[in-house]
Structure 1
Amino acid sequence: MHYLVPLVGLIGLIGFVGIQGKACGYAVLALPCYAVVLWLHFNVKAWVPFINPATYDAEFMAVDRQMHGIVDACIAIRGWLATWVPGINDLYMNGFMLLFYCSFIVHSMKTPDQFRTLFLSALLLQGLGGLCYLLFPAIGPFLYETGANPVLTQAQAHMLAVREAAVAGGREWLAANGAREFVSPLGAMPSLHAGGGFLFLWFAWKHCRVLLPLYVPLFAFILIGAIANRFHYIVDLPAGIALAGLSIWLAHRLHAGQPWPSGWRWATLPPFGAVMRADGGLRQTPKTALAKAPATR
């Protein structure tokens, strides 16, 4: 459950420095909410082979073969980076976790008004991503090609063995081994590492640009590594980024009164069609209205 570590650290940090206001309350609620969503997320991944046993690996790999120049370029760039970046085999996962840490901690302290929107966006991404695994089941391109990262290649072999054992053993195997292999289920489509990286980068761009010198290269490395390590097909990346965009959109929509990404906000529609105008007045209208609002940073 390493995904929960940033939230534990966030709550401890807020308590230590004595941050007051809404961010503290949101942070305290964050851990149990995220724990529940992740528990559901990984359980859905574990049950995908039983709920929807079909896979799209052959179709997605056909796209990779048609666009293999991109794969070759990612492998070449990753190989070049390996000559001078220490610990590169661990950077794919550790880099993503660093984005995770920094985003929750920095936004809770520096832009607390945006923290709950960031957090809800991350929740939606994990939840919707689990549903997408059911709609488009895929294991990953490492079925066909060995990736450039030997550490992750070993992990992929273990995860594939877990999947095969689960399919062969069924419910009884899951009951006996599911807790031990909780984070082992495979799901390639969409790439939530690409989606999560984009989500954190988007909030940094909009609300805390001091993070960009760190976030831009890490996000680029995650995209390259996802392909070079053969964890993801090419089509997984834009799908994950699109899902992150949808999650950001929904989070702003659900938080009435929060600024929209484009600088607009939806005026809330109370009973009888009363809508708040930009100047604070009320007018009657049968339709939902858009009110122009200045974007905040």
Structure 2
Amino acid sequence: MNTRYGFVRAARQFGLAWACGLLMAALMVLIAAVQDLPIRDPDDVMPGYIQFPLIVLAAIALDIVPRVAHRARVRRSWRPRALRGLLGEVVGERWPASHWWFALNGLLAWYLCYATFRNVKSMAPFVNPREWDATLAQIDRFLFAGHDPAAVMHAWFGTGFAAHLLSFVYVAWIALVPVSIAIALVWTRQTTAGAWFVTALAVDWVLGALLYLLVPTVGPIYSDPGMFDELPRTYVTRLQEGMWDDRVAVLADPRGADALQTIAAFASLHVGIMVTICLIARLVAVPRWVEISAWVFLALTVLSTVYLGWHFAADVVGGVALGSFAVWLAGVATGNRVGWRVRLVRPEQAAGPLDPVGASDARPSTLD
């Protein structure tokens, strides 16, 4: 395939994702110029432009190596020369030029959205210093008949084991996002499904950033910390303290802080992105156990965000709406629709959303 044509064809699949990234980049540069704010790499330990490609490359290795080993075992051929031949065979089947361009475009478009989102989120308090926490707390009490949702959950679930379990769930979500991106770009042979998912996440980031600018909040753990005094110290406790320290430092000296402030509650992107994952899983017909696991994790995520004080119940409602709309808009933009109803549109040659290890040995390759 012609290199230029391959890149352009893949880029078209992620047209809305690229548009979201470029819109966010323009917004980031505009705010930075008007407010005299720095633009920073969003990751502290390892730059994201190194971290995320490494995750994808590791996923590619996991896609290729087990298949080579499977064929070597079936053919009883472990000699180096034979393994090199099997490696070339698997790479040729699983990774033609079209799929390399697909994965590269998806990764670049998504990372542009992610990096710009983190910077815009950090800039939100400078653009709109008003905080809406008191208003959202009133909405929560109305929804819960005069009670605070977090206090209700503490009474229902206790403040011992549940705190540690939900802390683990909250942190596990952080790893879930890059892993799901790697799955969508690497293991899917149904590129329309992968493009739909990555584009939906890009829309999630854009909508989340815009809401942070319009309705800035810090969340119950910061606006009413006394409500969470009975919770034991967990990894989330240290995370919350570190994030508040970063926020204070950034607001005091944005250029000297050498950090991003990452506190913003409405809407809950933890919930929004999990809703996106669950709906895409349903719409592209992943294995049943995967879909059920996603819905269970969504339920635990909703509990953890409110129980631990990250979000108001109103933030959860906003997150559900945000994630659902992102799936619909991304489905329309990637051609996964019939009229205005979104559904996966499969090319005639598509094998399906996922191709299990060894499956390509049992049938002809059906790559896009």
Q: TM-score range by the shorter chain?
A: 0.7 to 0.9
Match of 2:132 among 40, 56, 79: 56
Question: Where do 1:1-297 residues align within 5 Å?
Answer: 1=43, 8-14=54-60, 17=64, 18=91, 19-20=94-95, 22-66=98-142, 67=144, 68=147, 70-76=149-155, 79=158, 82=161, 88-98=166-176, 100-102=178-180, 104-105=182-183, 108-110=186-188, 111-142=190-221, 143-145=223-225, 146-147=227-228, 148=231, 150=233, 151-167=235-251, 169=252, 173-178=253-258, 181-182=259-260, 184-207=261-284, 208-210=286-288, 211-255=290-334, 258-260=335-337, 264-265=338-339
Residues 133 and 220 of structure 2 are in contact (CA less than 8 Å); yes or no, is this contact kept in structure 1?
Answer: yes
| Identical positions, percent | 19
Partner residue, 1:279: none
Return the TM-score normalized by structure 1: 0.75
The residue matched to 2:299 in structure 1 has which SS?
helix
Amino acid at match of 2:240: Q
CA apart distance, 1:95? 3.6
Hey, what's the Cα distance between the residues in 2 that align with 1:198 and 1:42? 20
Structure ID, larger Rg: 2
CA apart distance, 1:69? 6.1
CA apart distance, 1:104? 4.1
Hey, what's the Cα distance between the residues in 2 that align with 1:193 and 1:87? 16
CA apart distance, 1:158? 2.6
Hey, what's the Cα distance between the residues in 2 that align with 1:250 and 1:118? 11
Residues 169 and 304 of structure 2 are in contact (CA less than 8 Å); yes or no, is this contact kept in structure 1?
Answer: no
The count of corresponding residues between Structure 1 and Structure 2 is: 260
CA apart distance, 1:102? 3.9
The residue matched to 2:313 in structure 1 has which SS?
coil
Hey, what's the Cα distance between the residues in 1 that align with 2:116 and 2:217? 19
CA apart distance, 1:78? 5.0
Hey, what's the Cα distance between the residues in 1 that align with 2:310 and 2:115? 22
Unmatched tracts of structure 1, length 5 or more: 267-289
Hey, what's the Cα distance between the residues in 1 that align with 2:102 and 2:232? 38
The residue matched to 1:74 in structure 2 has which SS?
helix
Q: Tell me: CA distance 1:205–1:133, structure 2 relative to 1, closer, same or farther (3 Å).
A: same
Hey, what's the Cα distance between the residues in 2 that align with 1:245 and 1:103? 18
Q: Tell me: CA distance 1:133–1:100, structure 2 relative to 1, closer, same or farther (3 Å).
A: same
Determine which structure has greater relative contact order: mean sequence separation of CA pairs < 8 Å that are 6+ residues apart, divided by chain length. 2
CA apart distance, 1:30? 2.8
Residues 267 and 315 of structure 2 are in contact (CA less than 8 Å); yes or no, is this contact kept in structure 1?
Answer: yes
CA apart distance, 1:62? 1.6
- Cα-Cα RMSD: 3.1
Q: Tell me: CA distance 1:98–1:48, structure 2 relative to 1, closer, same or farther (3 Å).
A: closer
